[in-house]
Structure 1
Amino acid sequence: MPVEKLPSGTVLIVGGGPVGLVLATTLAKHGVRTVILERNWTTTKWPKMDLTIARSMEIYRRLGISEQLRDIAVPSHYPFTCLFSSSLHADKAITSWDLPSPDEFRQRIHDQNDGSMPAEPWMRISQEVFEAWLKRLGEENPLIDFRAGWKVTDANETDDGAQVTAINPENGEECEIHADYVVGCDGAHSIVRNSMGITLNGGPIHAFAVLVHFRSKDLSRLRKHGQFWHLFFPNPASEGGSIKGALIAQDEVDTWTIHRFMRPDMDHTQYSSEEVIYDVLGGMDKPYPIKVDEILVRSTWTPSVALAESYVGPKQRIFIAGDACHQTVPTGGYGMNTGIADAYDLGWKLAGVIKGWAGPKVFSAYEDERRSCGELALKWSQVHMGNLMKMSSAVGLEADVIESPGSEGQDMRVAMHTYLQTNDGHNQSIGVEMGYRYNSSLSVPSTLDQTPPEFNPRAFTPTTLPGYRAPHVFLTDGTPIADHFGDEFTLVVFPDASEFNSSIRCFRDVAQRRNLPLRIVQLKGEDHAREVWGARLVLVRPDGFVSWHENAAVGEDAVDRVLECATGFN
């Protein structure tokens, strides 16, 4: 069998979807080469993801690609309105979640400069568009070798590296590719995870949905109830309740996606794609026809809730990320966005070890930190989905009452409105998205530590306790504080006269001795940022999370201990 040995320091990535591409982009930013093996010749034609949360946009900003990405996204003035309707035959929707547009969100971030907000607003873009764009970006990067058509069949670790077996598309023959490190970003049915014998706890939910991706410019009928991002239609309680289906506006022009949820005993093949569309839009009433210009793709999918027992191989040479680690139901948009954060976190850790400024404990920290985030995403995606699915039975929703003109119909509409406004965390859970804490050996205790803030799924409480994301705040010149961070570690100092000069010298000297790239950012006169951060010395990791904080000057021995732990050498 032919053998290819990749150059030392090259990371082999299995899977060239968004997670694999973001990992490669992150590694390239740190100067590390990658080879991506992707079994498909083309990027996805399925609109799997349509929400990029604020935390992912922060990551893209740090990678230097956020503004380019916004240029091809849904225009930023469109709000993220979610409508709930009994049927498009009705005169109007029952209620709505009036979620802000990126422009409105950005203004809110500027107005509420208290550390509780993200640095970037969210964004709408279909994965079909995003993945193709990201692949082109990767192919243009000289540090990324993207190989399409390569099907990986096996992976295993050795004491000094890892190897995969793959089928070369040029001749159809198997070959071995050896690398220092391998990362499986190869999806829910991950060959890398299965090859390593890593157990996946959980699995498919007992239901399925028909997806129809289509084009239509019949806007007067599709937008009968107004502009929307998502349009939901419930089932009546007498038919088992839950959600019948949803329509997603992909680009605010002519591209849409219908999801029709079905019982396991239903035969979806009896319905044409157009009939599926009409059926969903009709809600609890008769089918609602529209003019369909083109059916783009049709498929079925089954919701799955699962979490891998481990993210790291026993020899710490093979890792998994994204759907290979965790699978969530779509509500909240946590699936791919959690995978993007996996890739960004693993990227700096691999780069640090390869470059020599990080130690082996960063790899066990990857699992400790990101697996807990996977658990959090699973939990809250189920909470949001459960709230949607229980709505019909909680309200006692009935088709012959909901649109009736009398008091009974009015009472039912009010009850539906009240339930949905009470259970509206679906896309308003910023605490789930970025309010978690990393508990690992990379978080260094100090005398300044205190009881962590109570977790709130709907809010981010600004803190510089080690393990939390460093709070976003605009400085007096209008720039986000994170724009001043380095690509590796950053020491943020709120100096008072010459009090911290000796501490700064110690950090410079110890970092140089450890070959650790360290940027020191001194923020004189930034009283507001200092108040928000609540600490005068803060060590920030490459991913923007806090490693350590302190208010008092520290000497060389203490600095050495801090950097040794923060970089995974102890």
Structure 2
Amino acid sequence: MVGTGPAGLTTAITLARHGIEVMVVERRATQSGLPRAASVSTRTMELLRSWGLEQEIRAGGVEVEWKQWVGPTLTAAGDTHLTSFPTREQSAVLSPTAPASVPQDHLEPVLLDHLRSFGIARVEMGTEVVGLDGRTDDVQVTLRDVETRETRIVHARYLVAADGARSTVRDALGIVMRGPGRLSQAVGTEFRAPLWELLGDRRYCIYAVTHPEAAGVFVPAGRGDRWVYGVEHELAQEPSPSLTKEQSARLIRLGSGRADLAPRIERIGTFTFAAQLADRWREGAAFLVGDAAHQITPRGGTGMNTAIQSAYDLGWKLAWVLRGWTGPQLLDTYEAERRPVAAHNVARSADPHGGARLAAQELPADLGGRIPHVWVRSRADAASTLDLLGPGLTMFTNGPSAAWQRAASSIPGPPLVVHDLDAITARGMGIPRGGALLARPDGAPAGWWPSGTEPAAVLRDAIRALPTPSETADRLAEGAYAR
């Protein structure tokens, strides 16, 4: 594993949770201290919840409503608009959790600590990849200690490149990025100031100000009145945009509407908007994930979330193959399933109006066709149907389940756990009396059967086929799986 950003850590955690030993190398000596992405989507939070990290993640963020406020300044009258993330009220229906406003420099240490807690993950900071020999059956990687310059060679069954937009591994594999690499550029100022006092009960995820001298966006970046103020510039503008601390402070005062505001400027940085996809995400035993596979502008807040969800998809599929639960053909579904989502989000982020799309339009890309969230009425604890998903296959039945239980125990392959649901929960999932639903670890349906089905035969066929979510949706639409 190359890279300790969200994509690399997610892949490594998913492997470790399946009992797979993993080695992670990172060129930097320490993790980044930049807030960077701060919008954690519904589906991403569902994955973090499944690892028991939901409360620890939220502890580093702020509670906001997923709406955008637009006005001349923060203290002037303005308008409120919905965003592509569901509101709290919508989330309560859709999911056992909700999106979170958490800076990346809080999220990453939580993920790293979780990875190290398994005891089978080796993390080496200050180590870079300087050579690569990819083969069809394994990978030989030359590593170099950034400080001592000493090199060594390691062999791995698989290599996952999560080393960012300027991926060394991607270049070594000869994989090209396609799409605009310089759409526009922006200056981001990280600062601290008591803006929440100005905003009162307007606690939203983003604030766009239209002041003619200070048009930009204010985004909360964690606890303690930490903020990022961003100003986008056209590439044609010369010279390249740069701001001093004094200039940034002036713009923040203008945008806030408070001439006496004294922001504490902590960091100013310039970055370029890119919307690109790698030609392919795999070369032999090496895979690309995260920014190495796709570069997405900040519009819509999908970049980090696409990376985490794709990394999880690759992680469980690699684990299944390494555990011998299925054949290596499962790995072909990684790009087949995740590339359309990434392409959608890349194209959306390139659209100047892409950030204005609503949740009803964008939730299908985020939730990915996973099984419905329904609270399980028969359990004493507050458990969603999503909470019952395991590392292998999960079957949901609506009594009688004895035949399905017997079939599950006799079928070779990944672990298969059967949950017999009460009638109301089953109804919410569309399972008729005597029927069953089979789900993968990511919640994608792998089979859906009516009552009267012979369990052993259909289970064997379903596990052998392991259809992709899109194939399952097609079969459902064709009536192949009766509900």
1:456-471 matches, cutoff 5 A? 468-471=369-372
C-alpha deviations, 1:267-287, integer Å up to 9, x for none? 35663133134225535x999
CA distance in 2, matches of 1:338, 1:204: 18
Change in CA separation of 1:177 and 1:480 when aligned onto 2, cut-off 3 Å? same
Report if the CA contact (8 A) 1:260-1:280 is conserved.
Answer: no
Aligned residue among 135, 139, 145 for 1:162 = 139
Q: Which amino acid aligns with 1:506?
A: A
CA distance in 2, matches of 1:473, 1:31: 29
Report if the CA contact (8 A) 1:41-1:149 is conserved.
Answer: yes
**1:213 CA displacement:** 0.8
For residue 49 of structure 1, what is the aligned residue in structure 2?
Answer: 37
Q: Which amino acid aligns with 2:161?
A: G
CA distance in 2, matches of 1:156, 1:476: 53
For residue 456 of structure 1, what is the aligned residue in structure 2?
Answer: none
Report if the CA contact (8 A) 1:218-1:290 is conserved.
Answer: no
For residue 10 of structure 1, what is the aligned residue in structure 2?
Answer: none
For residue 550 of structure 1, what is the aligned residue in structure 2?
Answer: 449
Asked if 1:23 is matched to 2:11, the reply is yes
CA distance in 2, matches of 1:287, 1:69: 32
Q: Where does the alignment leave 5 or more consecutive residues of structure 1 unmatched?
A: 1-12, 389-422, 437-467
Aligned residue among 88, 94, 99 for 2:78 = 94
For residue 429 of structure 1, what is the aligned residue in structure 2?
Answer: 362
Asked if 1:82 is matched to 2:68, the reply is yes
**1:379 CA displacement:** 2.7
**1:503 CA displacement:** 4.4
CA distance in 2, matches of 1:387, 1:350: 33
Change in CA separation of 1:379 and 1:281 when aligned onto 2, cut-off 3 Å? farther
For residue 230 of structure 2, what is the aligned residue in structure 1?
Answer: 259
Aligned residue among 136, 150, 160 for 1:173 = 150
Question: TM-score, structure 1 length as denominator?
Answer: 0.74
**1:228 CA displacement:** 4.0
Q: Which amino acid aligns with 1:310?
A: R
For residue 126 of structure 2, what is the aligned residue in structure 1?
Answer: 149
Report if the CA contact (8 A) 1:23-1:346 is conserved.
Answer: yes
For residue 363 of structure 1, what is the aligned residue in structure 2?
Answer: 331
1:107-256 matches, cutoff 5 A? 108-110=90-92, 112=93, 117-169=94-146, 171-217=148-194, 223=199, 226-234=202-210, 244-251=215-222, 253-256=224-227
Report if the CA contact (8 A) 1:93-1:225 is conserved.
Answer: no
Report if the CA contact (8 A) 2:398-2:431 is conserved.
Answer: no
For residue 475 of structure 2, what is the aligned residue in structure 1?
Answer: none
Change in CA separation of 1:192 and 1:230 when aligned onto 2, cut-off 3 Å? same
CA distance in 2, matches of 1:471, 1:245: 38
**1:127 CA displacement:** 0.6
Asked if 1:305 is matched to 2:284, the reply is no
Question: TM-score, structure 2 length as denominator?
Answer: 0.87
Aligned residue among 376, 380, 383 for 1:479 = 383
Report if the CA contact (8 A) 1:212-1:277 is conserved.
Answer: no
1:266-415 matches, cutoff 5 A? 266-267=238-239, 271-279=243-251, 282=254, 290-293=261-264, 295-313=265-283, 315=284, 317-383=285-351, 385-386=352-353
CA distance in 2, matches of 1:544, 1:21: 21
SS in 2 for 1:135: helix
CA distance in 1, matches of 2:85, 2:276: 32
SS in 2 for 1:301: strand
**1:81 CA displacement:** 4.1
SS in 1 for 2:219: strand
CA distance in 1, matches of 2:257, 2:373: 50
For residue 67 of structure 1, what is the aligned residue in structure 2?
Answer: 55
Change in CA separation of 1:282 and 1:348 when aligned onto 2, cut-off 3 Å? same
SS in 1 for 2:179: strand
SS in 1 for 2:426: helix
Q: Which amino acid aligns with 1:137?
A: H
Report if the CA contact (8 A) 1:49-1:333 is conserved.
Answer: yes
SS in 2 for 1:553: coil
CA distance in 2, matches of 1:45, 1:346: 27
For residue 477 of structure 2, what is the aligned residue in structure 1?
Answer: none
Report if the CA contact (8 A) 1:214-1:255 is conserved.
Answer: yes
Change in CA separation of 1:274 and 1:426 when aligned onto 2, cut-off 3 Å? farther
**1:185 CA displacement:** 0.7
CA distance in 1, matches of 2:90, 2:81: 17
C-alpha deviations, 1:535-562, integer Å up to 9, x for none? 5211111121111111141254443222
**1:363 CA displacement:** 0.8
For residue 472 of structure 2, what is the aligned residue in structure 1?
Answer: none
Fraction of identical pairs, as percent: 26
SS in 2 for 1:136: helix
Q: Which amino acid aligns with 1:381?
A: S
Aligned residue among 508, 525, 536 for 2:409 = 508
Report if the CA contact (8 A) 2:375-2:425 is conserved.
Answer: no
**1:517 CA displacement:** 1.2
Report if the CA contact (8 A) 2:243-2:268 is conserved.
Answer: no
For residue 408 of structure 1, what is the aligned residue in structure 2?
Answer: none
CA distance in 1, matches of 2:404, 2:251: 68
Q: Which moved more, 1:557-566 or 1:205-214?
A: 557-566
Report if the CA contact (8 A) 2:186-2:272 is conserved.
Answer: yes
**1:65 CA displacement:** 1.6
Change in CA separation of 1:319 and 1:288 when aligned onto 2, cut-off 3 Å? farther
Report if the CA contact (8 A) 2:84-2:359 is conserved.
Answer: no
CA distance in 1, matches of 2:392, 2:145: 36
**1:142 CA displacement:** 0.5
SS in 1 for 2:353: helix
CA distance in 1, matches of 2:312, 2:403: 33
**1:123 CA displacement:** 0.7
**1:108 CA displacement:** 5.0
**1:311 CA displacement:** 1.3
Asked if 1:518 is matched to 2:420, the reply is no
Change in CA separation of 1:225 and 1:302 when aligned onto 2, cut-off 3 Å? farther
SS in 2 for 1:198: coil
Q: Where does the alignment leave 5 or more consecutive residues of structure 2 unmatched?
A: 469-483
Change in CA separation of 1:182 and 1:387 when aligned onto 2, cut-off 3 Å? closer
**1:210 CA displacement:** 0.8
Rg larger for: 1
**1:135 CA displacement:** 2.1
SS in 1 for 2:406: helix
Aligned residue pair count: 461
**1:26 CA displacement:** 1.1
Report if the CA contact (8 A) 1:278-1:289 is conserved.
Answer: no
**1:190 CA displacement:** 1.1
**1:217 CA displacement:** 3.4
Q: Which amino acid aligns with 2:407?
A: C
